[in-house]
Amino acid sequence: MNSALHLLAVIGGAVLLTLAAGRLADHLLRRADARHPETPLWNLLRRCRVPVRLFLLAALLRAAWPQITWTPLQEHRTSAGRMLSLVLIGAGAWCVVRIAAAVVESSYARYATGTHDPSRVRRVRTQVTLVMRIVAAVVAVVAAAAMLLTFPDLRAVGTSVLASAGIIGIVAGVAAQSTLGNLFAGFQIAFGDMVRIGDTVVVDGEWGVVEEVTLTYLAVRTWDERLITMPVSYFTGKPFENWSRGGIQMTGTVFVHCDHSAPVALIRERLKEILDDCGAWDGRGWDLAVTDTTPSTVVLRAVVTAKNPDDLWTVRCTVREHLIAWLAEKHPYALPRITTFPAAPPPSAT
């Protein structure tokens, strides 16, 4: 009975000490966050309270376990100690990932607040996302290796694996050639500043916005809310359009087919009126010119500008809609027609 009470006292004491330490740490982080509102680090660190408490509880129980003399526990002392070690390693890895995420997110938030260039903010955001994924993967691998080493039977297996690491590495490299190619392509995209989260791109004829970038794939959200997932190696091996690279302001064109009798000067004046009434036009420039002719029509090209791709799309649609409506109402003869009159006879020979 005394052994059982001793076990309950150890477990209860460890739980109470863990809760007290957790509340104290949370209180200190709250005070630090109130004193330093310019950085979100201290508030982000509060997300670590669950893994920290689990780590502290496992550490206290692991340290006090050899002192417990309860008979039923003595028969499973090794298994219980190994289980606590596994929990301790897992909680420690969880803590490391949460702390690293808090530090990285805090640094990114301060950089985003002090930087007025959206393109640089998106670039750093992409790099931060990939760095956190790498850190999480490395910590998970190390934690899994540490857990395996707690089992004596697996240590011999680990020694054999290490002895043949060269052969295994060559085989794994050949088998995972595509995966490794995507992995290195992810690094190239993140730190080569080729494409960033939030960029407007045209990929394989699809227009959309980059929503997610990982080490192996890139997700593009199209204008009709479809999500296109493509391997990152596509962006390093094939050409694609990045409308956000080099500044987000853009120049676009609107092509209108008209009859040969179309009043080009009046259409040019009407284009300027449409742009003046369009809030999406940034006022940087515009133009209208006859760029081509066919046997039945002339091709008018309207050049418009906007501050970003979304506004450019709005301007182009507005110009196209209002020009066609104005021509149909004021100058219907200027719309394309199919001539059905009989051909004029050739002049008679004199």
Model pLDDT for residues 10-55, shown as the tens digit of each residue: 677 777 777 887 788 777 878 877 777 777 777 777 777 788 888 8
For residue 269, is pLDDT > 50? Answer: yes
Which residues, 6 or more positions from 56, have their beta carbon under 8 angstroms from its beta carbon?
A: 17, 18, 21, 22
In a domain, 221, yes or no: yes
**How many Å apart are CA 99 and CA 71, to the nearest integer?**
40
Quote the pLDDT of residue 155.
59
In a domain, 340, yes or no: no
In the structure, what pLDDT confidence band is assigned to residue 315 with cuts at 50, 70 and 90?
Answer: very high
Higher per-residue pLDDT: 3 or 37: 37
In the structure, what pLDDT confidence band is assigned to residue 318 with cuts at 50, 70 and 90?
Answer: very high
In the structure, what pLDDT confidence band is assigned to residue 275 with cuts at 50, 70 and 90?
Answer: very high
User: Which whole number is the average pLDDT over 221-250?
Assistant: 78
The CATH number of the domain holding residue 238 is: 2.30.30.60
**How many Å apart are CA 206 and CA 223, to the nearest integer?**
9
List pLDDT tens digits, range 166-186. Answer: 444 444 444 444 455 555 566
**pTM of the complete model:** 0.46
Quote the pLDDT of residue 112.
74
User: Which whole number is the average pLDDT over 236-246?
Assistant: 74
User: Which whole number is the average pLDDT over 221-240?
Assistant: 81
Quote the pLDDT of residue 197.
80
Averaged confidence pLDDT in the chain: 76
Quote the pLDDT of residue 244.
72
Residue ranges making up the domain that contains 192: 178-242
Quote the pLDDT of residue 157.
52
For residue 246, is pLDDT > 70? Answer: no
**How many Å apart are CA 152 and CA 236, to the nearest integer?**
45
The CATH number of the domain holding residue 316 is: 3.30.70.100
Higher per-residue pLDDT: 1 or 108: 108
Query: Which residues make beta-bridge pairs with 292?
Result: 299
User: Which whole number is the average pLDDT over 212-229?
Assistant: 82
Quote the pLDDT of residue 173.
46
On whether both 202 and 258 belong to a single domain, the answer is no
In a domain, 151, yes or no: yes
On whether both 112 and 207 belong to a single domain, the answer is no
On whether both 69 and 155 belong to a single domain, the answer is yes
Quote the pLDDT of residue 164.
46
On whether both 24 and 78 belong to a single domain, the answer is yes
Q: How far is CA 56 from the centre of its chain?
A: 34
CB 223 within 8 A of CB 248: no
Interaxial angle between packed helices 152-163 and 118-149, expressed in degrees from 0 to 180 and rounded to the nearest 10: 120
What the block records as the tokens of 319 is 């110009």
In the structure, what pLDDT confidence band is assigned to residue 267 with cuts at 50, 70 and 90?
Answer: very high
Quote the pLDDT of residue 223.
79
On whether both 225 and 289 belong to a single domain, the answer is no
In the structure, what pLDDT confidence band is assigned to residue 1 with cuts at 50, 70 and 90?
Answer: very low
For residue 128, is pLDDT > 80? Answer: no
Quote the pLDDT of residue 182.
57
**How many Å apart are CA 266 and CA 189, to the nearest integer?**
48
Which residues, 6 or more positions from 225, have their beta carbon under 8 angstroms from its beta carbon?
A: none
Number of structural domains in the chain: 3
For residue 255, is pLDDT > 90? Answer: yes
In a domain, 329, yes or no: yes
Quote the pLDDT of residue 344.
64
